Amino acid sequence: MTGKVEYYFKHNDGTQIQGIGLGTFASTEGDCERAVLHAIDVGYRHIDTAYFYGNEAEVGVAVRKKIAEGVIKREDIFITTKLWCNFHEPERVEYACRKTLENIGLDYVDLYLIHWPFSYKYRGDNELIPKDANGEVELVDIDYLDTWGAMEKLVDLGLTKSIGVSNFNEEQLTRLLANCKIKPIHNQIEVHPALDQKKLIALCKKNGILVTAFSPLGRHNAQLRTPSFMYDGKVQTIADKYNKSIAQVLIRYVMELGTIPLPKSSNPKRIEENFNVFDFKLTAEDHAILDSYHNGERVAHARQAIKSKYYPFNVYSACF
């Protein structure tokens, strides 16, 4: 089977999204543009970026090139980006979104997320993690509900078709659902065998919120041979059974947990490989093996914000 598979989910606001996306974190200096160009040719119609990643412009260049070539129309491609933590003051939200649209070079994005529930002091557009004289990150107390109210206005203005959140735990998501006019369509969270997020995924599903899963392969370190599930013979046996790679098995696992995986790569072969995961299904026994690696270990800790009352990982159930 080729990678060009139509596999879509419908959001609670009626919009649709492809069941896998290209992650672009830490992809810059031309790599991101090349990755997006190739991904679109392969069949990806869902691209994830963020203001913090510093590559919105590269994503936009690639998308506009493929539109100009006639490979896609604007309505064919779903672009997600994110509001960074230094723009959480309600009066800065529209400004930040318009700056993002200027970066991407499009009239609207499909989905705009609050990147994290905590906030940083604003010290200019490009000072993304502001620090005081002692080297401490400068946090400010801005309620994410106030930020969300400003996010809702972006939909009315047509700057984004939909809005959602990222890295929100169960308590934060429940509180938001009880106090919003526009319901979030997504919660983007870290998901992989070491952090399966089953409880949070179930809460999202119950409330009609789709989950996008970043870091579905964990954080790879060949020297340390971590994460363990990337190097375990039991996982290799599963991969061999389906004539797939370990990465493909992990992406499929995250998908079968009920999420939309966002594997990141700038390698053309891996971009294609990561997309080719629709032609097999894991068994209950496969899931039991992969479930066994769950220990709550995270790739993205954001410990610099641990003193914020909105830091999302102080809640035990958010980890397990």
Residues labelled catalytic? 53
Rounded Cα gap, residues 115 and 73, in angstroms = 27
Reading the block at residue 302, the tokens are 């954001």
Q: Is 115 annotated as a binding residue?
A: yes
Q: Which residues contact 49 (CB under 8 A, 6 or more apart)?
A: 24, 32, 55, 56, 59, 79, 80, 81, 82, 104
**Cα-based distances in Å from 251 to 198, 264, 286:** 15, 11, 13
Do 152 and 144 contact (CB within 8 A), yes or no? no
Rounded Cα gap, residues 247 and 190, in angstroms = 16
Identify the burial level of 107 via C-beta atoms within 10 angstroms of its C-beta, where 0-12 means exposed, 13-18 middle and 19 or more buried: exposed
| Mode of pairing for the β-strands spanning 186-190 and 210-214 | parallel
List residues forming the annotated binding site for substrate: 115
Binding residues: 115
